[in-house]
Amino acid sequence: MSIRIQLCRVLGGAALLAVASASGALAKNSGSFTVGCLTQDTALQTSEGLSAGAAAANVSIAPANLWPPNHKLRAEGISMSLAADSSSSVDVSITVNEITDDQVSADDAGQSGCGAPTSKQGPDWSPTNFSGLTATGSLQHISDTPVAIGGVELRAERCAKLGTRTYELTVTCCDITNAVCDTVGTVNGVALGALNILDVTTPKNNGK
């Protein structure tokens, strides 16, 4: 996801956006993907001069296109930054809650063109235990170094007959200073139907 959008939809009030593929041939391991978070954080929105319900922070992942699909694990960078300059510094955290992809069932069933991860190859993402996938830090300006999570890897893999594979990483942003995290339900009058999801694709082809 010339520049074209493969997918753009809203999932229960939380943005689930697509990864755009580059014009012409895809560059190796290219692109980035960003989604807004902390839409329920009225204190931070006020500090940033934003309206209620606006994303007070952004989470990005790169690379967002895994190419070529050569079965190798690729390191992913996941980072959190503020959506606008804040009048004061805030302590924040970003957590990866889950990783999955839209070909898991076909992959596990060994359908034609797919194959379940072998003991030698291992799973299609790492780690598989997400308990330690959290990063914390302080932010005030959009120019600040983002709060980043390292150690996440996704395999440049897809089921040949199913085409493009999309990995989905569910993430939670927290404003520790104001005690607000992305929460399913209504907080400060803002409803959130699902946690934010980052998409990374292994495309069907390289765009040629």
Higher pLDDT, 124 or 89: 89
Specify the range with the lowest mean pLDDT, choosing from 93-102, 103-112, 185-194: 103-112
Specify the range with the lowest mean pLDDT, choosing from 9-13, 50-54, 140-144, 154-158: 9-13
Other CB atoms within a 10 A radius of the CB of residue 80 amount to 25
143 class by beta-carbon count within 10 Å (0-12 exposed, 13-18 middle, 19+ buried): exposed
Residue 46: phi and psi, rounded to 5, are -65, -45
Q: Tell me if residue 99 falls in helix, strand or coil.
A: strand
CB distance 138 to 90 below 8 Å? yes
Question: What band does 30 get if pLDDT is binned at 50, 70 and 90?
Answer: confident
Other CB atoms within a 10 A radius of the CB of residue 195 amount to 20
* Predicted pLDDT at 115: 64
Higher pLDDT, 17 or 183: 183
Question: What band does 76 get if pLDDT is binned at 50, 70 and 90?
Answer: very high
Q: Which residues on adjacent β-strands are paired with residue 16?
A: 9
In percent, the amount of the chain with pLDDT more than 90 equals: 64
pTM of the model: 0.83
Q: What is the mean pLDDT of residues 101-124?
A: 76
